[in-house]
Amino acid sequence: MRAAPDRPLPPIASSFCGLHFASPIVLLSGCVGFGEEYTRIEGFSNRDVGGVILKGTTLEPRLGNPPHRVYETPMGMLNAIGLQNPGVEHVVSEILPTLDFDETRFIANVCGSTVDEYAEVTRRFDDSPIDAIEINISCPNIKEGGVAFGNVPEMSARVVEACRKATSKPIITKLSPNQTDIQTNARYCIEAGSDALAVINTIMGMAIDAEKRQPIIGNVQGGLSGPAIKPIALLKVHQVYQVAGPLGIPIIGQGGVCDTADALEFIVAGASAVGIGTGLFYDPLLCRAINSGIEDYLARHGLTNISELVGSLELPGPVGVSEAS
């Protein structure tokens, strides 16, 4: 694990779960493959981001869902890739050795259909150079009728607890917005051993071809991401921060970040890092512009480090209550 330096951090650098993040930006799972896709673009560099979360990985290889898998919506995107991946053994033995761990922090994304599968994939990544592990608890539990692990706090906690026993690396639990009470889920995951939280995963939606009267996505439903979900994501980050902040549990805020203002809003709401995914499809060189914008904001407001901005939201007083004269 690449620990954060003891010396004062540059303005946009931070320590996240003991890891040195050169920037508050994290590239989200499923949007950058296994860390190599955007390196083909001239001007893009992994050194511009604090971390890269690799594509979701299962125990065995998966082919994913039938097409169509991606569909653009107003201010967003639906996707139902279906966790297509070559399996954890291939990722650890063939892909990780090709990554430059001096450039940035690389974070595995662990998926599974059972608690045992989550634990086994986590154990395999524990015996690798990966810096941290993100747990995607939005996967369906095949032993419980397909109910997503992330939609039931007790089930989420079981997954986190099993993964905690399988690794000494930092664990980041990716919370689903498709549940009744995200604060309770966050609390359960923290108590089970999660070192950080990612808020939020995509929101389930669908698209229909009215002429054919058929769903456009081959899987019928898919995850909605992009600017359309930003207001929901901001609220969820704010809510989870009320639980995680007092305990020192950092949050990766994500959902519709496309410019500096978006990133700053998530940080003010309580995020220590900001995830970017769909925004990269709009502008592959977005990260460098956001870094520059955040540095300018900190300078204008007399802040020496981004940590001073985390959770700095000023809430209004009680409505209808006047000050005593």
- 139 is annotated as an active-site residue: yes
Dihedral sign, Cα of residue 268, residue 272, residue 278, residue 280: positive
Contact 273, 21 (CB under 8 A): yes
Give CA–CA dist 228/235, Å, rounded: 13
Percent helix, strand and coil across the chain, each rounded to 5? 35, 20, 45
Question: How many other CB atoms are there within 10 angstroms of residue 60's CB atom?
Answer: 11
Starting from the edge strand earliest in sequence, which strands make up the sheet with 70-73, in order? Answer: 70-73, 76-79, 222-225, 203-205
Give CA–CA dist 57/67, Å, rounded: 20
Residue among 139, 189, 258, 287 flagged as catalytic: 139
Residue 200: cis peptide before it, omega within 30 degrees of 0: yes
Give CA–CA dist 25/234, Å, rounded: 16
Nearest CA among 145, 173, 146 for reference residue 17: 173
Q: Active-site residue numbers?
A: 139
